[in-house]
Amino acid sequence: MIRMLYLLVKPEGMSVETFRTECLRHYDMSHDVPGLHKYEVRLVAAQPTDTHVPFFDIGPVDAIGECWFENEAAYAIYMASDIRKAWFEHGKTFIGQLKPFRTASIAGNDTAG
Ligand code: 3ML
Protein backbone atom coordinates (compact mmCIF):
# COMPACT_ATOMS: atom_id res chain seq x y z
CA MET A 1 0.00 0.00 0.00
CA ILE A 2 1.26 3.46 -0.91
CA ARG A 3 0.28 6.04 1.70
CA MET A 4 0.59 9.81 1.42
CA LEU A 5 0.06 11.98 4.48
CA TYR A 6 -0.68 15.70 4.17
CA LEU A 7 -0.63 18.65 6.53
CA LEU A 8 -3.25 21.18 5.41
CA VAL A 9 -3.39 24.86 6.25
CA LYS A 10 -6.53 26.80 5.43
CA PRO A 11 -6.25 29.98 3.37
CA GLU A 12 -5.80 33.18 5.31
CA GLY A 13 -9.18 34.61 6.31
CA MET A 14 -11.22 31.43 5.75
CA SER A 15 -13.41 30.55 8.72
CA VAL A 16 -13.01 27.22 10.50
CA GLU A 17 -16.62 26.40 9.63
CA THR A 18 -16.12 27.01 5.88
CA PHE A 19 -12.91 24.98 6.00
CA ARG A 20 -14.71 22.12 7.76
CA THR A 21 -17.54 22.16 5.20
CA GLU A 22 -15.07 22.09 2.30
CA CYS A 23 -13.06 19.25 3.92
CA LEU A 24 -16.30 17.27 4.15
CA ARG A 25 -17.08 17.99 0.48
CA HIS A 26 -13.52 16.95 -0.44
CA TYR A 27 -13.99 13.70 1.47
CA ASP A 28 -17.29 13.02 -0.32
CA MET A 29 -15.67 13.74 -3.72
CA SER A 30 -12.79 11.35 -2.95
CA HIS A 31 -15.09 8.34 -3.33
CA ASP A 32 -15.28 8.91 -7.11
CA VAL A 33 -11.52 9.28 -7.72
CA PRO A 34 -10.08 6.36 -9.76
CA GLY A 35 -7.06 4.61 -8.26
CA LEU A 36 -7.61 6.16 -4.84
CA HIS A 37 -8.23 3.31 -2.41
CA LYS A 38 -9.09 5.54 0.52
CA TYR A 39 -8.93 9.18 1.61
CA GLU A 40 -9.29 10.53 5.12
CA VAL A 41 -9.17 14.10 6.34
CA ARG A 42 -9.41 15.13 9.99
CA LEU A 43 -9.42 18.56 11.53
CA VAL A 44 -6.63 19.43 13.93
CA ALA A 45 -8.51 19.90 17.21
CA ALA A 46 -5.50 20.89 19.34
CA GLN A 47 -1.76 21.23 18.99
CA PRO A 48 -0.34 20.32 22.41
CA THR A 49 3.20 21.44 23.19
CA ASP A 50 3.75 19.54 26.46
CA THR A 51 5.62 16.63 24.87
CA HIS A 52 7.73 14.14 26.84
CA VAL A 53 10.59 14.58 24.36
CA PRO A 54 11.83 17.86 22.87
CA PHE A 55 9.02 19.72 21.11
CA PHE A 56 9.49 21.20 17.68
CA ASP A 57 7.10 23.73 16.28
CA ILE A 58 5.87 23.71 12.70
CA GLY A 59 3.27 26.46 12.88
CA PRO A 60 -0.50 26.12 12.87
CA VAL A 61 -1.95 23.18 10.92
CA ASP A 62 -5.72 23.03 10.29
CA ALA A 63 -6.21 19.46 9.06
CA ILE A 64 -4.39 16.22 8.32
CA GLY A 65 -5.26 14.21 5.22
CA GLU A 66 -4.16 10.80 4.05
CA CYS A 67 -4.44 9.01 0.69
CA TRP A 68 -4.05 5.26 0.24
CA PHE A 69 -3.22 3.55 -3.08
CA GLU A 70 -3.05 -0.21 -3.68
CA ASN A 71 0.17 0.01 -5.71
CA GLU A 72 2.12 2.11 -8.24
CA ALA A 73 -0.27 1.12 -11.06
CA ALA A 74 -3.24 2.47 -9.10
CA TYR A 75 -1.27 5.62 -8.33
CA ALA A 76 -0.58 6.09 -12.07
CA ILE A 77 -4.31 5.71 -12.82
CA TYR A 78 -5.04 8.28 -10.13
CA MET A 79 -2.53 10.76 -11.51
CA ALA A 80 -3.89 10.44 -15.06
CA SER A 81 -7.56 10.76 -14.07
CA ASP A 82 -9.64 13.80 -15.02
CA ILE A 83 -11.78 13.17 -11.92
CA ARG A 84 -8.61 13.39 -9.82
CA LYS A 85 -7.78 16.66 -11.58
CA ALA A 86 -11.24 18.06 -10.75
CA TRP A 87 -10.73 16.91 -7.16
CA PHE A 88 -7.46 18.85 -7.00
CA GLU A 89 -9.25 21.89 -8.45
CA HIS A 90 -11.65 21.70 -5.52
CA GLY A 91 -8.62 21.34 -3.24
CA LYS A 92 -7.27 24.63 -4.56
CA THR A 93 -10.41 26.40 -3.34
CA PHE A 94 -9.91 25.57 0.34
CA ILE A 95 -6.33 24.32 0.89
CA GLY A 96 -4.11 27.35 1.42
CA GLN A 97 -0.91 25.39 1.94
CA LEU A 98 -0.06 21.69 1.74
CA LYS A 99 2.86 19.65 3.08
CA PRO A 100 2.94 16.09 1.70
CA PHE A 101 4.77 13.12 3.18
CA ARG A 102 5.03 9.75 1.47
CA THR A 103 5.25 7.28 4.34
CA ALA A 104 6.59 3.72 4.46
CA SER A 105 5.77 0.69 6.55
CA ILE A 106 8.11 0.00 9.44
CA ALA A 107 7.90 -3.66 8.42
CA GLY A 108 10.06 -2.74 5.43
CA ASN A 109 7.54 -3.80 2.81
CA ASP A 110 4.38 -2.46 1.21
CA THR A 111 1.96 -5.11 2.43
CA ALA A 112 1.80 -4.20 6.13
CA GLY A 113 0.36 -0.95 7.42
C1 3ML B 1 -3.28 15.59 -2.40
C2 3ML B 1 -4.41 15.86 -1.47
C3 3ML B 1 -4.34 16.15 -0.18
C4 3ML B 1 -5.65 16.37 0.29
O5 3ML B 1 -6.01 16.60 1.45
O6 3ML B 1 -6.52 16.25 -0.70
C7 3ML B 1 -5.81 15.76 -1.84
C8 3ML B 1 -6.22 16.43 -3.09
C9 3ML B 1 -6.04 17.91 -3.12
O10 3ML B 1 -4.99 18.42 -2.76
O11 3ML B 1 -6.96 18.60 -3.56
- Tell me how far apart the 2 most distant CA atoms of the chain are, in Å: 45
Give the pLDDT confidence score for residue 109 in this predicted structure: 74
Q: What is the mean pLDDT of residues 16-43?
A: 98
Q: Which atom of ligand 1 is nearest to the CA of 41?
A: 5
State pLDDT tens for residues 72-91: 999 999 999 999 999 999 99
Give the pLDDT confidence score for residue 47 in this predicted structure: 97
Task: Note the pTM of the prediction, 2 decimals.
Answer: 0.94
Pocket of ligand 1 (CB under 6 A): 6, 8, 26, 41, 65, 87-88, 91, 95, 98
Give the pLDDT confidence score for residue 27 in this predicted structure: 98
pLDDT at 112 over 60: no
Give the pLDDT confidence score for residue 55 in this predicted structure: 98
- The best mutation among 88, 97, 102 to test binding of ligand 1, ranked by most ligand atoms within 8 Å of the C-beta, falls on 88
103 Cα–ligand 1 center, Å: 15
Q: What is the mean pLDDT of residues 107-111?
A: 75
Give the pLDDT confidence score for residue 8 in this predicted structure: 98
Give the pLDDT confidence score for residue 108 in this predicted structure: 84
Q: Which atom of ligand 1 is nearest to the CA of 90?
A: 11
Give the pLDDT confidence score for residue 23 in this predicted structure: 98
What mean pLDDT value characterizes the chain?
96
Q: DSSP for 11-53?
A: PTT--HHHHHHHHHHHHHHHTT-TT--EEEEEE--------SS
Angle at CA of residue 95, ends 82 and 65, nearest 5°: 80
